Structure 1
Amino acid sequence: MAVFTPVSDSDAHALLSRYSLGELVSLRGITAGIENTNYFLTTTQGEYVLTIFEVLTFEQLPFYIELMHHLAEQGIPVPEPQTDCDGRRIGELHGKPCAIVTRLNGGYEPDPSARHCTLAGETLARTHLAGQSFGIRQPNLRGLAWWQATIPQVLPFLNSQQAELIQAVLREQTEFAQTSTYQQLPSGPAHCDLFRDNVLFDGTFEDPRMGGFIDFYFAGCDTWLFDVAVSVNDWCINRHDGSFNTEKLNAWLSAYAAVRPFTDAETAAWPFMLQAAALRFWVSRLYDFFLPRPAQTLKPHDPTHFERVLMARRANAPALAG
C-alpha cells in the first residue's frame, strides 16, 4: 500500500478506457502499508481502489482476485474486483499486474470496542464458511515454509536472546505441524492479515455497522484457527505489553463460534496457533525493517511489538472460549 509505482492521470485514463466505469475524476495515492501500491480512484460512476501488485505475480493473483469476487457474490462485505471489457479482472500497468475494486464505505477503528470485535468475529466466521465453495487452492505464502526460509535471513540482526526465542518457536511450530492435532484442524481460504486497519466500520462508535473486510492480498489456504489467532492478536490486546483484553477477546471468539463452533482439535491447538500468529508477524516485520525494498513512501512497522506479543502468548495462553 506504499506508493512504489507512480501512476499519472494519463495512466489512469488509459487504464479506465479498458473498463466501463466512467471517466476519471481524481486519483490519490494511499501511503499506509508496505506491500502494494494503492490509489483511491474516483470516476464519474463511483469510488474505487486501484492496486498495483509489487510482489504477487500474474500467476499468483487469480487466487486473491477470484476469492474476493466469490465472497462478494456470496454476500460477504468485501471489495468487488471489476471486470474489464475483455472479461478480465486482472489488468496490467507499467508492466505489473493491477486490479480495480469497489471502495467500501466506512473507516477503520484504531481502538475497537467489544462491539466492534463481535462484528469482526462474526463476519470472519461467515467469510470462512463462504470460502468453502471456492475452487482455487493456494497456500498461505507467509506460512511455515516462509518462516523457515526467512528467519535465517533476519538472525544476523537479532541479539542472542531474540535469536534463541525465534529459533525455539520455529522448531516447535515445525514439530506441531506434523501432529495429528494439526492435521485435524478445519482449513480453507483465509484472510491471514485481518488486522483492525483491514476492517471498515460504518455508523457510530457506539453503534457500529460492518463496512467490510479489505486487503486480501496475504490470503491463502490455511487453518481457520490461524486466521482467528492473527485477528485476536491485534484486535483484543493491550498494546503496551501484548496481553489480552479479556472482554474484547471473549466477545470476538463468542461471536465467531456462534456462526462456526470450534472443534476439539482447535481447542487443543489454540496455544500453538496464538504463537504461530505472533511469530508470523514478528518475522515479516523484522524482514521489512532490516531488509526493506526501495519505495517512495515506506513506513515499516516496529518489529518489537510482535516480539512482545509472542512472549505474552508463551507466558499465558487463554483457553479457546466460545
Structure 2
Amino acid sequence: MAVYTEVSLEQAAGFLKKLKMGTLKTIEGCAGGIENTNYFVTTTQGPFVLTLFERLTAEQLPYYLRLMKHLATQGIPVPDPASNSDGDVLHALNGKPAAVVNRLDGKSELAPTAAHCACVGDMLARMHLAGQSFEMRQPNLRGLTWWNETAPVVQPFLSPEQAALLGSELAYQNHVATLSTYTALPRGPIHADLFRDNVMFASGKAALDGPKLTGFFDFYFAGNDAWLFDIAVCLNDWCIDLSTGLADKERTDAFLAAYQAVRPLSAAERALLPAMCRAGALRFWISRLWDLHLPREASMLKPHDPTHFERVLRNRVQSPLTLSEILPTV
C-alpha cells in the first residue's frame, strides 16, 4: 500500500466540494499500487477514488484520463473521471496532479478460474476494438526504450546468473523489435498492467450464476503499443500458477479462446505471442527490481517481489506457449 502525499480530511473535503461531488464522509488510503497516491473517499453522492499522481506529469495525464472517458462512452466498464465546471478531468491537490473517478462495484478475483479468465479475454478484446477510435496518442512509457534504459541501473543488484538472463533476454527483445513480423502487429491503446487486482467482478448474489466482470481500472500505464503485449501481460498473471510461475493450460485456453472469439489474432500475432509473453515477464521483472532496490520514500509501501517474474520469464523461455491446440486458424 502506498501513500506518498498525505491528504487531510479537510483538504479532501474542500477539493471535492469544488468539483460538486457532495459532502465528504470518509477517506482511507487504498491498499495496493505503488505508483500513485490513492484514497477511497465516500461522499453524500457515493464512493469514489481520489488519485494524486507521483510520477506522471500534467502533460502526460490527459491521455490516460481521456482514454478512460472514451472507453466508458463505448460501453467498456472503466472508471469515469469527474470533470469540473470547465469540463477538465485533470485537477490539482497538494501540488500534485489529481483526478477523481467513480469506484467500481464488486471485488478483484485473486484466485481466478478459467471462467474468470474467459471474461477478461472477452472484455480485453472489446476494449482493444473500442480504443481504435481514440484519437490521442502516447507511447507505452514502460516499453522497450524504458527496459534498455533501466536494465543497466538494476543490474548491479543482480547475481551473475540473473545478470546473464537479463542481458540475454533484453538482447532477444531488441532483436524481435527489428522483425517485419513485429512491425506488422496490430496496435492501439493498451492497458499494459491488467493484473488480477486491476479487474473487478460482481460479488454476492450478483455472482451466483457465474463470474460477471464489472470493470477494468488503473489505466496509468496505458499507451499505444501492440495489442499482443496486452494479451501477454494478462497471460502472465491471470493464467499462471503464482507459486511456481508455470502456465496453467485450462486458464490459458479459456482466455485466448474468449479473446479470439471477439477479435481473431493475425498471423503476426500468432507467430510472436511466445516472444511477447517473454517481453511481458521481462518488463515486470525490471520494474519490480527497480521498485525494490531504488525505492521512493512513502508512508505506506510494500514493493512486489521481483523474483516472481524472474521465474515467469525463465518458464516462458524454457516452455514457449504452443498455440496450435488453442487457437484455430482463421
Cα distance, 1:31 vs structure 2: 3.1
- Contact kept? 1:27, 1:40, Cα under 8 Å: yes
Residues 1:285 and 2:310 are matched in the alignment: no
Kept after mapping to 2: 8 A contact 1:33/1:299: no
Give aligned pairs, total.
Answer: 322
Match of 1:148 in 2: 148
Give the match for residue 86 of structure 1: 86
Could you report, residue by residue, the CA deviation over 1:242-294 in whole angstroms, capped at 9, with x for unpaired residues? 11110000000000010000010011111110100000000000000000110
SS of 2:57's equivalent? coil
Deviation at 1:206, TM superposition (A): 6.3
> Partner of 2:218 in structure 1?
215
2:4 aligned residue = 4
Q: Deviation per CA, 1:109-168, whole angstroms, max 9, x where unpaired?
A: 110011100100000000000000001000000000000000000000001110011010
Question: For the residues of structure 2 that align with 1:128 and 1:32, how far apart are their CA atoms?
Answer: 25
Alpha-carbon distance in 2 for matches of 1:109, 1:31? 15
Residue type matched to 2:12 in 1? A
- What is the 5 A alignment of 1:93-172? 93-172=93-172
Determine the C-alpha separation between the residues in 2 that align with 1:130 and 1:18.
32
Where does residue 247 of structure 1 map in the other structure? 250
Shift of 1:319: 2.1
Give the aligned partner of residue 234 of structure 2: 231
Deviation of 1:240 after TM superposition, in Å, equals: 2.2
Q: 1:315: which partner in 2?
A: 318
- Give the distance between the partners of 2:321 and 2:87, measured in 1 at CA: 48
The answer as to 2:55 corresponding to 1:55 is yes
Which structure 2 segments of 5+ residues have no match? none
Q: Secondary structure at the match of 1:2?
A: coil
Q: Which moved more, 1:237-246 or 1:62-71?
A: 237-246
Aligned residue in 2 for 1:193: 193
Per-residue deviation, 1:13 = 1.6
Q: Deviations over 1:172-227 (max 9, x none)?
A: 10111011000000010000000000000003376121110010001111100000
Tell me, yes or no, if structure 1 residue 294 matches structure 2 residue 286.
no
CA distance in 2, matches of 1:272, 1:147: 15
Whether the aligned pair in 2 keeps the contact of 1:41 and 1:49 (CA below 8 Å) is yes
SS of corresponding position for 2:5: coil
Q: Give distance in 2, aligned partners of 1:179 and 1:208.
A: 39
Deviation at 1:302, TM superposition (A): 0.5
C-alpha deviations, 1:74-123, integer Å up to 9, x for none?
01000000111222100001111000001000000110011100100000
TM-score (norm 1): 0.98
* 2:70 equivalent in structure 1: 70
Q: What is the CA deviation profile of residues 23-45 of structure 1, one whole-angstrom value per residue up to 9, with x for unaligned ones? A: 11111111322110111111111
- Residues in 2 aligned to 1:204 and 1:45: alpha-carbon distance in whole angstroms: 25
Q: 1:270 aligns with which of 259, 268, 273?
A: 273
- Check conservation: 1:3, 1:31, Cα contact below 8 A: no
The alignment's C-alpha RMSD in Å is 1.0
Check conservation: 1:270, 1:319, Cα contact below 8 A: no
Distance 1:110 1:312 in 2: 21
Q: Percent identity?
A: 55
For residue 20 of structure 1, report the CA deviation from its aligned partner.
2.0
Moved more, 59-68 or 20-29: 20-29
Partner of 1:85, secondary structure, is coil
Rounded to whole Å, the distance in 2 between the matches of 1:117 and 1:197 is 13
Distance 1:18 1:37 in 2: 20
Q: Secondary structure at the match of 1:80?
A: coil
Of 63-72 and 202-211, deviating more is 202-211
C-alpha distance in structure 2 between counterparts of 1:19 and 1:310, whole Å: 45
Query: Counterpart in 1 of 2:27?
Result: 27
The runs of 5 or more residues in structure 1 that have no matched partner are: none
Instruction: State TM-score, norm by structure 2.
Output: 0.96
